[in-house]
Amino acid sequence: MRSFSLIAAAAAFSVSAYTAPVLPAPEPDEPPELTAEAWILYDADADVVLASENATEERPMASVTKIMTALVVADNAELDEKVRISEKAANVGESEIGLYAGERWIVKDLLAGLLIRSGNDAAMALAEHVGGSEEGFADMMNAKAEELGLEHSHFVNPHGLDDPEHYTSAADLVTMAEAALERPYLSRLARTRLVSFTPSPNGVARRAQTTNRLLGVYPGVVGLKTGYTGRAGLVLVSVLEQGDRTLIAVVMGSEGHFDDTRELLDYGARTLTIHDRLLAELVPQEGGGGALPSGITLTEEELAQLEVVTNVPDGTWAVNTLETTDLGYRIRDWMRSVAPVTLGGTG
């Protein structure tokens, strides 16, 4: 057994002498420069704001209003309910799916026209059906805003056409987006690029094609809603699913909402999660487990997240000798196969 002991000792020395390579800690990435006047990038899984600018500023929201419209409708109507189209709904103007007064549609199809094509006529038809009137529906929207804890939002219509009393913030839009994603049908519509409806009464084909040009172009984008008016500028609420992460980006008052959002999502994809940021610089530390490395800086939101992490319970450490490891057993079996029987082998 002396030969085995020598080999085991050599192997043990080799293992103990091995030093893991020192990996450079990643440098934190700076947020991009955007044309948007207000924006936010949110990691929904970690519940952390990765970057923002004027995120609580109250601003006109344009057609991203329809996220809230869809939420209120989903709360108060069944998908197969029939809706009679009024003159007011058919003639609301701007973006529309081509409704005619007197037609009957089901809620399911009107929601598709609302979120995919951003139809103002669909928005008004749903509002009148659910709230009895535009004003009644606006009251329901504000009640839903209070339920969601929105602190910088007020609604006066279901479509988002400009009104001084109709506004929200980038941060509030993140909350609305999360609520919409929890609704399977709304989430499905948000990622749909094209849907066909029944022809109009005069035989003209009607279909809704998405206004979100990132869908099907930027990998992982699954929604959510575009918007534009003269006062609001370009607005976009986007959702990116990347592996086990979900990022929500909002840009408001943008000169190029798709370009700005691409920049934000690229930045978010490069940004390390809290887990990665904490462990990255611990790799080269011999022993580790000490204070947070000086190269890592965490925001207040991230620190708050860490406070809820459960500590690992205390336990008793156990250390195996080389002889009791799988490698040790393989060395022993090899030695026995080549050593003479007189030395304890089988050969």
Q: Which are the catalytic amino acids?
A: 63, 66, 118
DSSP conformational letter for 283: T
Report the distance separating Cα 203 and Cα 205, nearest Å: 6
Could you report how far apart the first and last alpha carbons of the chain are, in Å?
14
Contacts of 334 (CB under 8 A, 6+ apart): none
Query: Could you give the CA distance from residue 32 to residue 19 in angstroms, rounded to a whole number?
Result: 38
The residues pairing with 82 across neighbouring beta strands, listed in sequence order, are 106
The pair of three-digit structure tokens given for residue 251, joined into one six-digit string:
């840009």
Residue 302, both tokens: 């991230």
Dihedral, CA atoms, 130, 163, 235, 87, nearest 10 degrees?
40
> The tokens of 15 are what?
């293992």
Please tell me the distance from the alpha carbon of residue 62 to that of residue 38, in angstroms, as a whole number.
14
Strands 245-254 and 206-209: unpaired
SS3 content of the chain, % helix, strand, coil (to 5): 40, 15, 45
Relative to beta strand 82-84, strand 104-106 is antiparallel
CA–CA gap between residue 204 and residue 100 (Å, rounded): 12
